[in-house]
Amino acid sequence: MEPQFSYQNMDKTARYEQFLKDFIPYISDEHEEISVLANTTAALRQAFGWFWIGFYLVRDEQLVLGPFQGDVACYRIRYGRGVCGTAWAQASTQVVPDVEQFPGHIACSGSSRSEIVVPLIANGTVHAVLDIDSDTLATFDDTDRHYLEILCGKICDEIYKD
């Protein structure tokens, strides 16, 4: 039976800790990039219910839309453009409480109000970014940053090994 990533009556920290405990073994020993990223978006959607969750993959000097859950999205993002391109260029997580206040924000959906983008870095190279949008302002904080960076590190350990 496949795991269900549904956590009721838990605060944010407890929800993340339980999610990581349940999800990391689920991707253990799976090395197919698209499969792991697809199941990651589905599991995050089940566990947290955010508006949009997806990956953009570094391909030919741009970010290209990968597996996602949510409304249709932008196909390509240039290096340094928008929140995703900035996370890629800076190789650092971007937490944006109000996307309207982010210089150069790319509005793939008018419903997006806040965003977090976490780069997937292995061997000093950004391979992809995890992009999560909320339809509410100020959804994401340092707790989200902390646990999503752990998650992305574990994903990198599985799919971007040398």
In tens digits, what is the pLDDT along the chain, a chain of 162 residues? 567 788 888 999 999 999 999 999 999 999 999 999 999 999 999 999 999 999 999 999 999 999 999 999 999 999 999 999 999 999 999 999 999 898 777 767 677 899 999 999 999 999 999 999 999 999 999 999 999 999 999 999 999 976
| Partners of 56 in the β-ladder | 65, 129
Q: Supply the pLDDT for residue 7.
A: 86
Identify the H or E element spanning 88.
helix 82-90
150: Cβ–Cβ under 8 A, 6 or more apart, which residues? Answer: 20
Question: For domain 16-159, is the CATH number 3.40.50.720?
Answer: no
How far, in Å, CA of 70 to CA of 76, rounded? Answer: 17
The helix (run of H) or strand (run of E) holding residue 46 is helix 33-48
Residue 1: the pLDDT is: 53
pLDDT of residue 162: 66
The packing angle between helices 142-159 and 12-27, to 10°, is 0
d(CA 146, CA 55): 18
Give the angle 112-115-120 at the CA atoms, nearest 5°: 135
Nearest residue to 112 via CA among 92, 132, 129, 140 = 132
Phi/psi for 52 (5° steps) reads -145, 135
Task: Say what the pLDDT of residue 104 is.
Answer: 73
Q: What is the pTM of this model?
A: 0.95
What is residue 111's predicted lDDT score, i.e. its pLDDT?
77
Widest pairwise Cα distance in the chain: 45
